Amino acid sequence: MFIKPVEAFLLRRDHPPRVELEAIYAALIALQVGEIVPPEVYIKDYSVGTIPEWTVKSRELKKQGYLVLVLIDPNGTVEATLWEPAAEIARDIHSAPDRCLATQPYQLRPGYGPKPMFCDLLQQARYVAGDEKRQRKGRTNDV
């Protein structure tokens, strides 16, 4: 369920993702609880090419600059059922000066949590940036 239409958000084609680890880490380390992730930092986009307003729900800075963020998509929620309350969609970010990893999106409610596997956000940002370049040149991955 979406609170406002996904078409109302910024378009990825207008905000290409950063593909330098230092820039991504600098943007993430500066965030505080309640702030929105800058659109140039790729977290996960809607399938229509718009960028959710990923917002910092919790922030924990550990030793040696290791940062753990829990981000929520305030626009995307899971509706309540007879058995469970409504839930926010979340994604955990684990970032350090030499890497930036993320969990898959999950439901933020008691008894739920992220799957114990991570993806490399820098690699995903590079893929999205490359995809955008191919689209601008008139090429796509479609068969």
Residue 110 confidence (pLDDT)? 82
Angle of helix 121-136 versus helix 21-29 axis, rounded to 10: 120
Residues contacting 116, CB < 8 A, separation 6+ = none
Please check the confidence at residue 134 and state whether its pLDDT lies above 70: no
Phi and psi for 16 in degrees, rounded to 5?
-60, 145
Taking the C-alpha atoms of residue 61 and residue 1, their distance in angstroms, rounded to an integer, is: 32
Taking the C-alpha atoms of residue 125 and residue 123, their distance in angstroms, rounded to an integer, is: 5
Residue 14 confidence (pLDDT)? 93
Residue 58 confidence (pLDDT)? 97
Residue 80 confidence (pLDDT)? 79
Taking the C-alpha atoms of residue 87 and residue 140, their distance in angstroms, rounded to an integer, is: 35
Look at 17-21, 114-118, 131-135 and tell me which has the smallest mean pLDDT: 131-135
Render pLDDT for 1-58 as a digit per residue (tens, 0 to 9).
Answer: 677 777 788 999 999 999 999 999 999 999 999 999 999 999 999 888 889 999 999 9
Residue 7 confidence (pLDDT)? 76
Residue 51 confidence (pLDDT)? 93
Counting Cα atoms < 13 Å in the Cβ hemisphere of 32 gives: 0
DSSP 77: E
Residue 101 confidence (pLDDT)? 96
What b/e readout covers 107-121, taking b as 16+ CB neighbours within 10 angstroms?
Answer: bbeeeeebeeebeeb
Please check the confidence at residue 131 and state whether its pLDDT lies above 70: no
Render pLDDT for 74-115 as a digit per residue (tens, 0 to 9).
Answer: 988 888 788 888 889 999 999 999 999 999 999 988 888 888
- Rounded to two decimals, the pTM is 0.84
Residue 86 confidence (pLDDT)? 83
